[in-house]
A and B are shown apart, each in its own frame.
Chain A
Amino acid sequence: MGNFVKVGMADYKIARAPNKLITTGLGSCIGICLCDTRSRIGAMAHIMLPSGELSRGHTHNQAKFADTALEMVLGELNKDGINANRLIAKIAGGAQMFKFLGESDIMKIGLRNVQAVEENLKKHNIKMVAKDVGGNVGRTIVFDPATGELLIKTLGDGERVI
């Protein structure tokens, strides 16, 4: 039996089968899952914001932005000899948890995150094979690098595997 490698907010981890990657309570944040099922190695990033260009002031952790987090993960995988063109991607999150907030940033951040993640995957020629995004539900996700299966657990909307 493998272990569960926990990925926190604004963090990323690499794991080899039989270990699995887990992140809990995604709202507007997005879990980006990458894997190369041939070498049974996978990665998960838990991003909060669309772009490192938003960064100002004292931001040193680049794993919180979609674009820079993806570059960091690809750099790590590259050290293991895995190129972007061998990877498949699955993503989950990008929800809008609060209602009645009008046009505030908090309403739009989930959607902006989804768009940014999709654009950046495309930029690196990574094929996105499945997604479970949007809505107004929180998600806990478990990613299995052995199979590429992504389990999505919610409180009000059941469980599913994509």
Chain B
Amino acid sequence: MVYIGDLSNMQLDALQEIGNIGAGNAATALAQLINSKIEMNVPRVKILPFDTVPDLVGGADRHIIGVYLNVGGSVSSNILFMLPIEQAVVLVDLLMGKGIGETRPDNLGDLELSAMREMGNIIAATYLNALSVFTRLTLVPSVPALAMDMAGSVLDAILAKFGEVADHVLLLETCFKKDDHNVVGHFFMLPEPEALDTILSALGVNN
């Protein structure tokens, strides 16, 4: 099993490239869902100690909504779409055809959360589909699960899975931005350690 600390620059570049392909498609899907222009930054591969991961979304105590999908098939992986709460409610308004500001963090009901979950589902499925076409690997997402709380608390059970094999986690990160340049969401893919070999082989960059 390849250790994330031993990955070569070429392997990291290859992972970044699949992140790019997936995220480009996911951004388009999000733009179509909310009928609004979505920009994204260049996806990055990061290898981070666990305690710094919440900083990517504004800190461990940041109030966020997270949509999580477990990915099975030939590559075991994790998808997490995290949105700052004040941006999540704007997306809900756009998704449900309401006026901006109608949905607030304190009046998010089951229907609104269900809409968020479905949005995460569509974005993740689009991302995985693009990856699957490119790598010819089978990627099967679970049903989406949603949590709304502090960023650290939403992330820690997912990070714990990686704690058994390393002190760091490898993740592919993309930020989606709306026309006003606010970050609307952070999209993460965290491949399971044993899945890295499969991905790198499919990309032709296993040693």
Contact = CB atoms under 8 A, between A and B. Distances in A.
Interface stretch (B58-66, B87-95, B126-134): B58-66
Contacts of B155: 25, 27
Given A27-B155, A109-B160, A155-B63, A61 B147 contact: no
Contacts of A155: 63, 149-150
A150 to B, nearest CB: 17
A100 B113 CA distance: 13
Interface stretch (A34-42, A51-59, A70-78): A51-59
A97 interface: yes
B8 interface: no
Contacts of B193: 57
Contacts of A96: 157
Interface in A103-137: 104-106, 109-110, 136-137
Nearest to A140: B61
Given A48-B160, A57-B1, A101-B142, A140 B150 contact: yes
A64 B157 CA distance: 12
A99 B59 contact: no
Nearest to A7: B51
Q: Which of B5, B151, B165, B167 has the most CB of A within 10 A?
A: B167
Contacts of A136: 147
Contacts of B154: 27, 97-98, 138
Given A98-B146, A138-B150, A49 B160 contact: yes
Contacts of B3: 57-58
Contacts of A57: 1, 3, 164-166, 193
Interface of A: 8-11, 24-29, 48-49, 54-61, 64, 95-101, 104-106, 109-110, 136-140, 155-156
A50 B156 CA distance: 13
B159 interface: yes
Interface of B: 1, 3, 5, 49-51, 54, 59-61, 63, 68, 70, 142-143, 145-147, 149-161, 163-167, 193
B150 A29 contact: no
Contacts of B152: 9, 24-27, 29, 138
Contacts of A137: 149, 153
A49 B163 contact: yes
A24 B196 CA distance: 31
A25 B150 contact: yes
Q: Which of B142, B149, B154 has the most CB of A within 10 A?
A: B149
Contacts of B61: 24-25, 140
B153 A25 contact: yes
Q: Which of B61, B63, B142 has the most CB of A within 10 A?
A: B61
A24 B60 contact: yes
A57 to B, nearest CB: 4
B164 A49 contact: yes
Contacts of B167: 10, 58-61, 64
A56 B149 CA distance: 31
Contact of B156 (A25, A59, A60, A99): A25
B163 A98 contact: no
Given A24-B60, A48-B156, A57-B1, A10 B163 contact: yes
Nearest to A61: B167
B147 to A, nearest CB: 4
